[in-house]
């Protein structure tokens, strides 16, 4: 037991370049985990808020009342931001004069699409970093491994009689870099795939709501235009 390899000693005695590789991998792993926890909370909150809002939206509540309730908040995100953007644009046209339902809905749709793009961009924030870590960490670790093994064999060439005991620490030191690379990459890849899937589902949910809400507003616009036409006639 006393002759076993001490990993801490191997890291401390590694070459400066291999130590830098290990340090960079540890830093990338820490940043990845911080992003994983942050994104997990943000996406979970978005899912909960979307369900809560849709329940209220489809409960039959007056849209103007719902708009006033949500717009009074200091921060509006997710599907609520789409609703605010669409209803605000719709109300702006309503205050002026309806020319045609298609013109009204074109502006309303455009406002909601911009809001959708912003919300998806928020949800995807930092996911590219996880993808980058998952892609490059194994190669960074492999670079440290190759460098460490190369140094081990160079040291072997300087002695007359080589033994396994002389080679083992150098190879073990090098392989630690590979292990660290995998330790950083695997959680990042799993988290990226999982979060990307959830963001896609949320985006699909937002788009469905946007289309359904647009249909409701279109019917209202068509009804009001028809009513004005009947009055003027």
The pLDDT confidence band at residue 223, using thresholds 50, 70 and 90, is confident
More confident residue, 81 or 225: 81
pLDDT for position 164: 60
In a domain, 9, yes or no: no
In a domain, 42, yes or no: yes
Question: Which distant-in-sequence residues (6+ apart) come within 8 Å of 132 by Cβ?
Answer: none
pLDDT for position 61: 85
- Cα angle at 103 between 100 and 104, to 5 degrees? 85
| pLDDT, averaged across the chain | 84
Average pLDDT over residues 51-60: 90
In a domain, 1, yes or no: no
Q: What is the pLDDT of residues 68-97, one digit of tens each?
A: 999 888 888 889 999 999 998 888 877 665
Average pLDDT over residues 89-110: 76
- Count of the separate structural domains present in the chain: 1
Least confident among 39-53, 100-114, 197-211:
100-114
pLDDT for position 1: 42
In a domain, 13, yes or no: no
The pLDDT confidence band at residue 172, using thresholds 50, 70 and 90, is confident
The pLDDT confidence band at residue 162, using thresholds 50, 70 and 90, is low
pLDDT for position 104: 76
Q: What is the pLDDT of residues 117-152, one digit of tens each?
A: 999 999 998 899 999 999 999 999 998 888 878 877
pLDDT for position 108: 86
Mutual orientation of helices 101-123 and 16-57 as an angle, nearest 10°? 140
Q: Can you give the residue range of the structural domain that contains 88?
A: 25-225
Whole-model pTM above 0.85? no
Closest CA to 93 of 216, 229, 224: 224
pLDDT for position 2: 46
Q: What is the pLDDT of residues 16-53, one digit of tens each?
A: 888 888 899 999 999 999 999 999 999 999 999 999 99
Question: DSSP characters for 115-146?
Answer: HHHHHHHHHTTTHHHHHHHHHHHHHHHHHHHH
Measured in whole angstroms, the distance separating CA 107 from the mean position of its chain's CA atoms is 29
Whose tokens are 């809905």? That residue is 105
In a domain, 93, yes or no: yes
Report the alpha-carbon distance of residue 193 to residue 47 in Å, rounded: 17
Would you state the structure tokens that stand for residue 114, as one six-digit string? 């911009």
In a domain, 19, yes or no: no
Least confident among 37-46, 154-163, 213-222:
154-163
Report the alpha-carbon distance of residue 65 to residue 83 in Å, rounded: 12
In a domain, 17, yes or no: no
Q: Give yes or no for residue 159 having a pLDDT over 90.
A: no
In a domain, 7, yes or no: no
Would you state the structure tokens that stand for residue 107, as one six-digit string? 């502006």
The pLDDT confidence band at residue 115, using thresholds 50, 70 and 90, is very high
Report the alpha-carbon distance of residue 95 to residue 201 in Å, rounded: 35
């Amino acid at each position: 037991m006393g002759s076993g390899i001490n990993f801490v000693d191997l890291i401390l005695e590694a070459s400066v370049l291999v130590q830098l590789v290990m340090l960079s991998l540890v830093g990338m792993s820490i940043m990845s985990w911080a992003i994983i926890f942050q994104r997990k909370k943000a996406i979970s909150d978005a899912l909960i808020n979307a369900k809560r809002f849709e329940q209220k939206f489809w409960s039959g509540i007056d849209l103007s009342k719902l708009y006033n309730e949500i717009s009074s908040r200091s921060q509006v995100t997710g599907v609520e931001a789409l609703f605010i953007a669409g209803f605000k644009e719709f109300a702006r046209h309503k205050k002026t004069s309806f020319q045609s339902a298609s013109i009204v809905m074109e502006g309303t749709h455009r406002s909601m699409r911009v809001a959708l793009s912003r919300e998806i961009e928020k949800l995807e924030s930092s996911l590219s970093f996880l993808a980058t870590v998952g892609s490059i960490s194994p190669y960074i670790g492999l670079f440290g491994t190759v460098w460490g093994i190369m140094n081990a064999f160079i040291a072997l060439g300087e002695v007359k009689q080589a033994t396994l005991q002389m080679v083992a620490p150098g190879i073990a030191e090098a392989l630690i870099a590979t292990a660290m690379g995998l330790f950083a990459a695997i959680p990042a890849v799993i988290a990226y795939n999982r979060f990307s899937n959830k963001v896609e589902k949320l985006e699909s949910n937002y788009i469905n709501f946007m289309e359904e809400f647009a249909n409701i507003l279109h019917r209202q616009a068509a009804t009001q235009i028809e009513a004005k036409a009947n009055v003027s006639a």
